[in-house]
C-alpha cells in the first residue's frame, strides 16, 4: 500500500492509539515536534516512547501524561541541562510513574538496524565493563558460535508506529532526507506503521545524488506537509536550530505550572499551522 497524504490530525488519529509503542526520531535534526504536539492534543495515553535522545519533544509528552514507559540512551536538553519533566516523572512520579529502560547509543542504533533488518535482536561489541546490564534485563551477553567471543545482545526495536520529519516528499509520496539523517530510515523500516511530516511537497526532487537517503512511498503509511514542523529543532536547507528556545525551555519545564500553562497555550490551543512562522523566524 502506498503512502497517503493526510492532515496531521487524521494521520495521528489513524496511526497512533493508546498503549502503542512509538518511536519519534531525529538526531538533533528533523525532530517531529508538530506531530508530538498533535499526540498531546489527542490525549493519547500509556505510550511506550522510544528515542535515542528524548530531549524536549519527549519532555513535553511525558509532562503531558502521554507516556507509560521510556526507552532511551541519553536524556537531556543538549548543552542546556536536565529534562525537568523527565526528571520529575522519574524522581517524583509526576504526573504519574514512568518506567524506564535505559541503553547506550550504540545499543539503540544497533537495535533499530536489527528491527529494520527483520531480526529479533541486535548483537554488538558493547556494554563491556559497564553497569547498565545490571539494571536492564533487556541487555544480555551471548557467545559468538564461531569464535567464542562474548557479545552484547539487545532486543531489536520494532515500534507499532514511527514518526519522523523530513525535508521533502514528492507528489507520489516518496520521501527525501538530507543532512544528519540519524536513525530515521531504520526507525521507519522497523515499524508497523509510519508517519512522515515534511517541510514541503514538490513535483520532483530535481538534481539529487543517486545515493540520497530516501524512503519510497510504499515504505511509508502517512505523509503530512507541515512547514516548520521540526521547530525548535531544524531542517537543513530550510531553517536553523532555535538554540535560544532550547535555552528558554529550561525555566518553563522546571516549573509544573509554567509547563502546564505553556502546553495549554501552545499545544492545546495551537495547531500545526503555527509552525510556519517559526520556520520564517529561524531562517538565519
* Per-position b or e across 59-89, b if 16+ CB within 10 A of its CB: bbbbbbbbbbebbbbebebeebeebbbbbbb
Looking at the Cβ atoms of 45 and 240, the one nearer to other proteins is: 240
C-beta of 265: minimal distance to other proteins in Å?
Answer: 17
List residues near other proteins by CB under 8 A: 27-29, 52-53, 55, 72-76, 78-80, 82, 86-87, 90-91, 102, 104-106, 109-110, 112-113, 124-132, 135, 149-150, 179-183, 185-186, 213, 234, 236, 240-247, 281-282, 284
C-beta of 130: minimal distance to other proteins in Å?
Answer: 5
Alpha-carbon distances of 272 from 34, 36, 89, 118, rounded to whole Å: 6, 10, 27, 34
Looking at the Cβ atoms of 113 and 174, the one nearer to other proteins is: 113
Looking at the Cβ atoms of 8 and 215, the one nearer to other proteins is: 215
Looking at the Cβ atoms of 44 and 230, the one nearer to other proteins is: 230
List the grid coordinates of 198. Answer: 515534511
Q: Which of 78, 80, 79, 58 is nearest to 69 (CA)?
A: 58
Mutual angle of helices 56-63 and 256-263, in 10-degree steps: 100
Amino acid at each position: 500500500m502506498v503512502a497517503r497524504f493526510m492532515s496531521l490530525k487524521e494521520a495521528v488519529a489513524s496511526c497512533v492509539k493508546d498503549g502503542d509503542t512509538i518511536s519519534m526520531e531525529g538526531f538533533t535534526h528533523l525532530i517531529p515536534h508538530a506531530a508530538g504536539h498533535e499526540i498531546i492534543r489527542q490525549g493519547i495515553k500509556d505510550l511506550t516512547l522510544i528515542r535515542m535522545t528524548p530531549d524536549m519533544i519527549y519532555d513535553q509528552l511525558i509532562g503531558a501524561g502521554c507516556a507509560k514507559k521510556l526507552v532511551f540512551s541519553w536524556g537531556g536538553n543538549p548543552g542546556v541541562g536536565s529534562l525537568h519533566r523527565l526528571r520529575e516523572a522519574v524522581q517524583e512520579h509526576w504526573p504519574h510513574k514512568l518506567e524506564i529502560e535505559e541503553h547506550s547509543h550504540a545499543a539503540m542504533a544497533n537495535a533499530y538496524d536489527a528491527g529494520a533488518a527483520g531480526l529479533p535482536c541486535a548483537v554488538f561489541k558493547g556494554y563491556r565493563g559497564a553497569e547498565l546490564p545490571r539494571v536492564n534485563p533487556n541487555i544480555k551477553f551471548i557467545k559468538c558460535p564461531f569464535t567464542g567471543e562474548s557479545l552484547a545482545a539487545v532486543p531489536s526495536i520494532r515500534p507499532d508506529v514511527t514518526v519522523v520529519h523530513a525535508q521533502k516528499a514528492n507528489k507520489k509520496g516518496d520521501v527525501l532526507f538530507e543532512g544528519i539523517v540519524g536513525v530515521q530510515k531504520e526507525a521507519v523500516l522497523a515499524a508497523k506503521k509510519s508517519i512522515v511530516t515534511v517541510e514541503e511537497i514538490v513535483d520532483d526532487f530535481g538534481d539529487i545524488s543517486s545515493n540520497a537517503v530516501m524512503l519510497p512511498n510504499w515504505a511509508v503509511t502517512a505523509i503530512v506537509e507541515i512547514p516548520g514542523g521540526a521547530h525548535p529543532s531544524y531542517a537543513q536547507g530550510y531553517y536553523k536550530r532555535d538554540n535560544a528556545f532550547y535555552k528558554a525551555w529550561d525555566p518553563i519545564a522546571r516549573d509544573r505550572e509554567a509547563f502546564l500553562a505553556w502546553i495549554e497555550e501552545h499545544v492545546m490551543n495551537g495547531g500545526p499551522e503555527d509552525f510556519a512562522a517559526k520556520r520564517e523566524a529561524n531562517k538565519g
